[in-house]
């Protein structure tokens, strides 16, 4: 199943192959090698893969190929019904998936539109009403458009739930159910998730028909090509350590992670004061501001993007050279997600973590999860100014007292924002050993009732 070494051998339409080649893809990633033939064959898929593995092309290319015979050059909206629906948890991820899909369909008459909350509905309404075959959407806003009869899902042939675990974490299950109820029963369904808590297994059992399980890399394995380093410092030295790392390594395009929105704002401001082109990206920023920051970062006008976990999730930045954990994440799984931002699609990367004594337990939890010790590196830091020490000290006091941000009740209008300060919830299955990269995709549930999938996703496979 993994013997597809280039994009010419899948039997994909030459326009699609031309598009990916012009984007610089020469070799399919493992998930693409596995998923493309299965999706082309019309099978349902349960994909165990994180963002950064190339999964978007893994599902989008074969979907586009399957839609092409019906593609029409007519201007009539009726000739461009929604045929593929991709649901994503956040606006950023929806944008990025759509950005890729638009490039894949560039040489074809197929159209792609993005639909997400927090921005004016009107341009989305116009795009939907003009007719569009592929819609990438966050659930809440899509329901708003369906309620306004701006589009219809009655001709959808394939649906994708991307980052399904995050969607459920964000409280989207009722919205997803309402959307799925509007789809034709005869359809192809794909679901991608990085983790497999009970609710995901249940959703998969209800939503997928005799799915093929496509799995790449161990669920919580950290990419082997990410160099991981730990810098132990005093609380008052954190910012100094960060500045030292940025300067001594001459780092540009660095994603710096913090645990709180307030910390995010404060650190970006502090870096700016030090003459560094830094921007904060978190839930209190408008969609426009976030997209602008991301664009600036991609263009190289912003060198350091300071982000909270959810703000950063799904950020599509190819070959990001380094990530720095200014705060050790509360949940070990977030560490894996964070360092997954670097070394994407085969590039090598560097992940540096700045830790104080108060974060020792969190570091130990990470090391247990990733089953390795992170190398402690020496660092010489000038002590921070008095004021800075005072301010950070107070924040740390609050954290030590357990006053970390509480998960807010999910709200439909601003889903991403609600989740920004919520630590990742462990699934209890995290340390299971899953197959390595080179294992072939395994059909599961073939000839069995879909309910069996739940057990199979837990680890045992045929």
Contact footprint for ligand AMP (CB under 6 A): 25, 27-29, 32, 51-57, 100, 316, 318, 344-345
HEC secondary structure over the chain:
CCCCCCHHHHCCCHHHHHHHHHCCCCCCCHHHHHHHHHHHCCCCEEEECCCCCCHHHHHHHHHHHHHHHHCCCCCCHHHCCCCEEEECCCHHHHHHHHHHHHHHCCCCCCCEEEECCCCCCHHHHHHHHHCCCEEEECHHHHHHHHHCCCCCCCCCCEEEECCHHHHHHCCCHHHHHHHHHCCCCCCEEEEEECCCCHHHHHHHHHHCCCCEEEECCCCCCCCCCEEEEEEECCHHHHHHHHHHHHHHCCCCCEEEECCCHHHHHHHHHHHHHCCCCEEEECCCCCHHHHHHHHHHHHHCCCCEEEECHHHHCCCCCCCECEEEECCCCCCHHHHHHHHCCECHHHCCEEEEEEECHHHHHHHHHHHHHHCCCCEECCCCCCCCCHHHHHHHHHHHHHHHCCCCCCCCCCCCCCHHHHHCCCCCCCCCCCCCCCCCCCCCCEECCCCCCHHHHHHHHCCCCC
Closest to ligand AMP by CB, 290 or 344: 344
Question: In the complex, what is the shortest distance from the CB of residue 187 to ligand AMP, in angstroms, rounded to a whole number?
Answer: 22
Nearer to ligand AMP, 5 or 273 (CB): 5
CB of 25 or CB of 207, closer to ligand AMP: 25
Contact 20, 8 (CB under 8 A): no
Residue 297 Cβ, how far from ligand AMP at the closest point, in Å? 14
Rounded to whole angstroms, the Cα distance separating 327 from 207 reads 38
Residues 333/442, Cβ–Cβ less than 8 Å: no
Closest separation in Å from C-beta 332 to ligand AMP: 22
Residue nearest to ligand AMP (CB): 56
- Smallest separation, CB 311 to ligand AMP (Å): 16
Any idea how long the chain is?
A: 462
Nearer to ligand AMP, 68 or 345 (CB): 345
CA distance 245 to 276: 13
CB nearer to ligand AMP: pick between 28 and 89: 28
Nearest distance from residue 349's CB to ligand AMP, in Å? 13
> Based on CB atoms, which residue is closest to ligand AMP, 52 or 81?
52
Could you tell me which of 331, 314, 353, 354 has the C-alpha nearest to residue 404? 331
Q: What are phi and psi of 212, to 5 degrees?
A: -95, 130
Q: 């808590």: which residue's tokens?
A: 197
Least spacing, CB of residue 96 vs ligand AMP, in Å: 7
Contacts of 116 (CB under 8 A, 6+ apart): 90, 91, 94, 95, 137, 138, 141, 287
> Which CB sits closer to ligand AMP, 219 or 344?
344
Residue 100: CB minimum distance to ligand AMP, A = 6
Q: Which CB atom, from 5 or from 371, has the smaller least distance to ligand AMP?
A: 5
Least distance between ligand AMP and beta carbon 56 (Å): 3
Of 53 and 90, the one with the shorter C-beta distance to ligand AMP is 53
CB-nearer residue toward ligand AMP: 345 or 408: 345
Nearest distance in Å: CB 166, ligand AMP? 14
* Cβ nearer to ligand AMP, comparing 18 with 450: 18
Least gap, CB of 50 to ligand AMP (angstroms): 7
Q: State in angstroms the smallest separation of the CB of 27 from ligand AMP.
A: 6
Looking at the Cβ atoms of 51 and 90, the one nearer to ligand AMP is 51
Closest distance between ligand AMP and the C-beta of residue 450, in Å?
Answer: 26
């Amino acid at each position: 199943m993994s013997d597809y070494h280039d994009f010419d051998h899948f039997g994909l339409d030459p326009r699609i192959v031309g598009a990916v080649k012009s984007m610089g893809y020469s070799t399919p990633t493992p998930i693409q090698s596995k998923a493309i033939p299965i999706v082309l064959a019309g099978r349902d898929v349960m994909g165990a893969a994180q963002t950064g593995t190339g999964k978007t092309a893994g599902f989008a290319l074969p979907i586009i190929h399957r839609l092409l015979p019906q593609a029409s050059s007519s201007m009539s909206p009726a000739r461009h019904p929604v045929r593929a629906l991709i649901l994503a948890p956040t606006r950023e991820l929806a944008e990025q998936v759509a950005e890729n899909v638009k490039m894949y369909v560039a040489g074809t008459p197929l159209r792609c539109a993005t639909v997400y909350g927090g921005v004016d509905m009107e341009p989305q309404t116009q795009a939907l009403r003009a007719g569009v075959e592929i819609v990438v959407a966050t659930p809440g806003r899509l329901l708003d458009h369906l309620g306004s009869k701006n589009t219809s899902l009655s001709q959808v042939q394939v649906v994708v739930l991307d980052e399904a675990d995050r969607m459920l974490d964000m409280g989207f299950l009722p919205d997803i159910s309402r959307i799925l109820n509007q789809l034709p029963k005869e359809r192809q369904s794909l679901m991608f998730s990085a983790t497999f808590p009970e609710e995901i297994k249940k959703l998969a059992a209800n939503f997928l028909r005799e799915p093929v399980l496509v799995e790449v890399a161990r669920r919580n394995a950290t990419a082997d090509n990410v160099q991981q380093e730990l810098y132990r410092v005093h609380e008052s030295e954190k910012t100094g350590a960060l500045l030292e790392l940025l300067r001594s390594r001459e780092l540009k395009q660095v994603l710096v992670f913090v645990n709180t929105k307030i910390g995010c704002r404060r650190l970006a401001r502090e870096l700016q004061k030090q003459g560094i082109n830094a921007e904060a990206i978190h839930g209190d920023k408008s969609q426009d501001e976030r997209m602008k920051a991301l664009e600036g970062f991609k263009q190289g006008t912003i060198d350091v993007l300071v982000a909270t976990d959810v703000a950063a999730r799904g950020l599509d930045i190819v070959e990001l050279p380094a990530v720095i954990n200014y705060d050790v994440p509360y949940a070990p799984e977030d560490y894996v997600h964070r360092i997954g931002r670097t070394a994407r699609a085969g590039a090598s990367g560097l992940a540096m973590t700045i830790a104080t004594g108060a974060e020792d337990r969190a570091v130990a939890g990470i090391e247990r999860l990733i089953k390795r010790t992170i190398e402690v590196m020496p660092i010489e830091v000038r002590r921070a100014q008095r004021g800075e020490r005072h301010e950070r000290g107070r924040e740390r006091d609050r954290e030590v007292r357990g006053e970390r941000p509480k998960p807010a009740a999910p709200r439909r209008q601003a889903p991403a924002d609600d989740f920004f300060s919520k630590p990742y919830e462990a699934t209890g299955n995290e340390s299971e050993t899953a197959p390595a990269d080179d294992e072939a995709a395994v059909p599961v549930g073939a000839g069995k009732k879909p309910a069996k999938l739940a057990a199979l996703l837990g680890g045992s496979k045929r």
